[in-house]
Amino acid sequence: MRPAPHTWSPPGLYGAIVLLVTSLSGQSGLIVEVPEAEPVVGRHRERLDASAPLGVPAHITVLFPFVPPAEIDSGVLTRLNRLFAGISGFSFRLGHTDWFGDDVLWLAPGDPGPFRALTQHVYQAFPAFPPYQGQFDDVVPHLTVGHGHPVGALLAAEEAVRADLPIEARADAVTLMTHESANRRWHRVATFTLA
């Protein structure tokens, strides 16, 4: 049985963010890719997470939305490189599932602190880009498995995913991805190695 709904997101608001991620042009975001999770969540994300078929890998978001693609230049890339070079990589464990409302199934890192710190460092360096446009008081680091599908489909995915938890992973880099026009795939623009 799924846990009680998490209080992070009012009903429907996460869906608005998902719509923003999957349909608007001129967007970018910073993510920690989690390839260790792909064998566990990949097939579920392809069916249940609209961003997966658009080229977004299993990930935990560091900052979204970020600088519009047309404004990403060598100066922005240099600032990001310097910023992330001063932050140590870290190991983490995705040990349990959780929910935002009834429509978003996600995996939770055991210690969200290092992800929150990454987000805070980037936001301090780029204060014009608050996480999720400042819509949430508390941004919860998470890896989305599925959203916006019938609860039964999400519950079946949750049961399958739980059988393969925990997932041990490592954050050694942050990836900058862009989406430049509606109905097109997201692309990796740069990867910044953590110290």
**What are the residue boundaries of the structural domains of the chain, listed by start?**
13-193
Q: Express each pLDDT in 99-147 by its tens digit.
A: 999 999 999 999 999 999 999 999 999 999 999 999 988 899 999 999 9
* DSSP, res 186: -
For the chain, give the number of residues: 195
Confidence of residue 26 (pLDDT cuts 50, 70, 90): confident
Taking alpha carbons only, the member of 90, 91, 95, 98 closest to residue 167 is 95
Beta strands in 56-115 (DSSP E): 59-63, 90-100, 104-109
Quick one: pLDDT at residue 183?
61
What values do phi and psi take at 183, rounded to 5? 60, 25
13-193 CATH choice from 3.40.50.11260, 3.90.1140.10, 3.40.50.300, 2.40.160.40: 3.90.1140.10
Both tokens of 15, joined, read: 């869906």
* Distance of alpha carbon 13 from alpha carbon 80, whole angstroms: 29
